[in-house]
Amino acid sequence: MFYKIKKLVHKFLLWCKVKSNLTKVINFRAGNEKVSAIMQPPLPAAKCIPDWYKNLSLYVTDNGNPISPEGNTNLTAKACVPVLDALTTGYIVTLPCDIIFVDPKEYGHRVIWEVSWDVISSHSPAQMGNQAPDGYESRPLKWEGNWETITPEGYSILITHPFYRYDLPFITTTAIVDSDKFTRRLNLPFFIKEGFVGTIPKGTPIAQMIPIKRETWESTVLPYDPKSDHSLDDLKTTIFRSYKTRWWNKKTYR
């Protein structure tokens, strides 16, 4: 009996070791006491799936009636696992308070809010190479960072605009930070849409952060493979969830 218990304990410890080796931990540390007391840390992206995706029907419809385009299925992006992977990968940084953008001609400035800490600061256009995206104001702004991000040794953090959030009245720029070495708070530059007036509410996703492993890569060019011509046909041999059931691997961010 004792031998069996010892054997089970040994197996359990081995399982814990394997799980520990497979699971990486990302740490978010408050920049000060106020942040720790009242601000929300970055959330797993799976908790911030946008409403447009949640409300999307699985099928293309017209007044509730399914439409079947000739020569194609009528499935929407709701059936596309790569889209769901993008929406649920990594962690989402959210806005810590309501931000009100006003007409500068009327108020003399662009942004107002009533909290006792800095939320937004600015760059000069020249600092970003005068490269504002079309339809956005030329002056870049910055979301002030409140949380320190710490990744395991050898991992950096990719920071970008939240995937598929084209509805937001701003666009956050993209950067990669070696967050295993540099663990300070990160300011996130962004551009606001031209002429936007209104409130961006507390909790709005403002950036998506994805841990990436630093590795050395080398590219090659492979010869043409005739079999690749048939890969799409193979995908369509099953109508529903073919990619998910045959090729997809689950990703987990907690």
> What is the residue range of 105's domain?
25-41+89-213
Measured distance CA(160)–CA(234) in Å, rounded = 34
Model pTM? 0.84
Measured distance CA(153)–CA(184) in Å, rounded = 16
pLDDT digits (tens, 9 = 90+) for 128-151: 888 899 999 999 999 998 999 999
pLDDT at 193: 97
CA angle 216, 220, 225 (to 5 degrees): 140
Query: 145 lies in a domain?
Result: yes
| 157 touches 149 (CB < 8 A) | yes
Measured distance CA(23)–CA(64) in Å, rounded = 43
| 90 touches 210 (CB < 8 A) | yes
pLDDT at 76: 86
Average pLDDT over residues 150-170: 97
Q: Which residue has the higher pLDDT, 77 or 214?
A: 214
Given a cut of 70, whether residue 98 has pLDDT beyond it is yes
Query: 10 lies in a domain?
Result: no
pLDDT digits (tens, 9 = 90+) for 99-112: 999 999 998 888 88
pLDDT interval class at 117 (50, 70, 90): confident
pLDDT at 109: 87
Average pLDDT over residues 65-73: 59
Measured distance CA(42)–CA(149) in Å, rounded = 9
Beta strands across the sheet bearing 111-112: 111-112, 99-101, 198-200
Chain-centroid distance, C-alpha 88? 7
Average pLDDT over residues 223-244: 71
CA angle 216, 27, 185 (to 5 degrees): 85
Contacts of 164 (CB under 8 A, 6+ apart): 50, 52, 53, 83, 86, 87
Query: 117 lies in a domain?
Result: yes
- Domains identified in the chain, total number: 1
pLDDT at 162: 98
Query: 48 lies in a domain?
Result: no
Query: 132 lies in a domain?
Result: yes
Measured distance CA(209)–CA(90) in Å, rounded = 6
Between 10-24, 57-71, 199-213, the lowest mean confidence (pLDDT) is in 10-24
Average pLDDT, the chain: 86
The CATH number for 109's domain is: 2.70.40.10
Measured distance CA(32)–CA(118) in Å, rounded = 13
Q: Write out the two tokens for 157.
A: 């953090």
Given a cut of 70, whether residue 64 has pLDDT beyond it is no
Query: 79 lies in a domain?
Result: no
